[in-house]
Amino acid sequence: MAELTFITENGMFHSAARCTFPDGVEWYGFKPMAHRTPAGAGQVDRSDRSALLKHYVSFDVADAVLRAAVKKVAAAYAPKTYVLSMCDCVSFTAEIAREVGLKVPLVNFTPYGFNEVLAFWNTYKSKA
């Protein structure tokens, strides 16, 4: 069983997913190529966000389901344009949540709000 953790970060509002598999940890996020740009070319970010973690909510997910979900979402987002509040870090993580079968609202605006709704609508493993 893998663990899927959605995080919010200190500083700039950001949402990312930490995937903990039996063989290691992988990070997935979506951000603009130009730092702090609200619209423009986007990129899937695989960098470790551990040092920036502020809040999180974790869920148990079958390994194969989680691997397939992050692969599908990362491929779909790789060519996308980043547009704040439309196609951004929160929509990216929300899509991963949908792909693994979590209940997710249609509209998500803030990373913290997204985590709170996930925790309220789904059975979570841990939360902070």
Question: Mind listing the pLDDT tens digit for each residue in 40-86?
Answer: 889 999 999 999 999 999 999 999 999 999 999 999 999 999 998 88
Q: How far apart are CA 94 and CA 109, in angstroms?
A: 11
Return the H-helix or E-strand segment holding 25: strand 24-32
Distance of CA 36 to the CA centre of its chain: 18
pLDDT value at residue 115: 95
pLDDT value at residue 123: 82
Helices 111-121 and 89-99, packing angle to 10 deg: 20
**Euclidean distance between CA atoms 37 and 67, whole angstroms:** 29
Give the full edge-to-edge strand order of the sheet including 2-9: 81-83, 39-45, 24-32, 15-21, 2-9, 53-61, 126-127
pLDDT tens digits, one per residue of 84-120: 888 999 999 999 999 999 999 888 789 999 999 999 9
Retrieve residue 40's tokens: 């423009």
User: Is pTM beyond 0.75 here?
Assistant: yes
Task: Please check whether residue 28 is in contact with residue 97, taking contact to mean a CB–CB distance below 8 angstroms.
Answer: no
* 77: its two tokens: 């987002």
